Copies of this chain bind each other. A is one copy, B any other.
Amino acid sequence: MENTKMSEKQFLETYNSDNFERPSVAVDLVFMSVIDGELVALLGQRDAHPSKGDWALPGGFVGIGESLDDAAQRVAKEKACFGGKSRAWLEQLYSFGDVARDPRMRIITVAYFALIPPEQFTENLAQRADLTLATITLKGETITALGADNTALSLAFDHGDILRHAVSRLRGKLDYSPIAFALLPDLFTLRDLQEVHQAIMGKSLNKPAFRRRMLDSRRVHGTGTRESGTSYRPAELYRFKP
């Protein structure tokens, strides 16, 4: 049997001498929120080939002196004006590395999702005509992105796969992680919270059971204040307890 440690060294030397071509590394961001009870994600329409006219996630290349997380943070600011006082829950999702996923060149992309409370989403988006909020639906293995006119958007590259991973991850983590609160303002009603859960899970939930579960979890506490502007009995406002 060959000495694999030796061959590892040789490999590394070859690699270092630039005879060995390196892939490019990018990050793609799935900005998500729940607006009017629907799960939405941010997409931009491509104005050049390849995939011209298709809808793509905001993304950018990873700099040589920049960690993956830093690159995601930077792209969040540059591409979608999130940053500064805006807050976003950034979390690495999955890495996509098929050889031909981008026909121009070899690009490995590390996908992140960025969870944004809806009021910040609409605020930042008002300035950006080139971006749209698509309604995302995952039924079984099929992901759909609906545009403003309620027609399905054609997704660029493997960005449909990325969206599928994002929704699956949200569903998987919803019960043991505070992601739902990253999609809500500081003050929210239990109805708001239930709507977020329902949008992520893609199904309606039983109200008494949901309230029991949330209150027993001790992750929310009532503020004693109530929402305003309703034409009916206002609900109590709650706050996330870390």
* Chain A interface (Cβ < 8 Å from any Cβ of B): 1, 4-5, 8-9, 11, 15-16, 20-25, 47-48, 60-62, 64-69, 71, 78-79, 92, 94-99, 105-106, 108, 110, 127, 130, 172
| Residue in chain B with minimal CB distance to A3 | B130
Name 4 extra pairs, CB < 8 A, besides A5-B47, A25-B108.
A1-B127, A15-B24, A20-B61, A172-B172
A20 to B60 CA separation, bound complex (whole angstroms): 13
A4 to B58 CA separation, bound complex (whole angstroms): 11
A97 to B4 CA separation, bound complex (whole angstroms): 25
From B15, B64, B67, B97, give the contact of A67 (CB < 8 A). Answer: B97
A118 to B232 CA separation, bound complex (whole angstroms): 63
Number of copies: 2
Task: Report if A97-B23 is in contact (Cβ < 8 Å); known contacts: A4-B78, A5-B47, A105-B16.
Answer: no
- List the B side residues contacting A71 at CB < 8 Å: 97
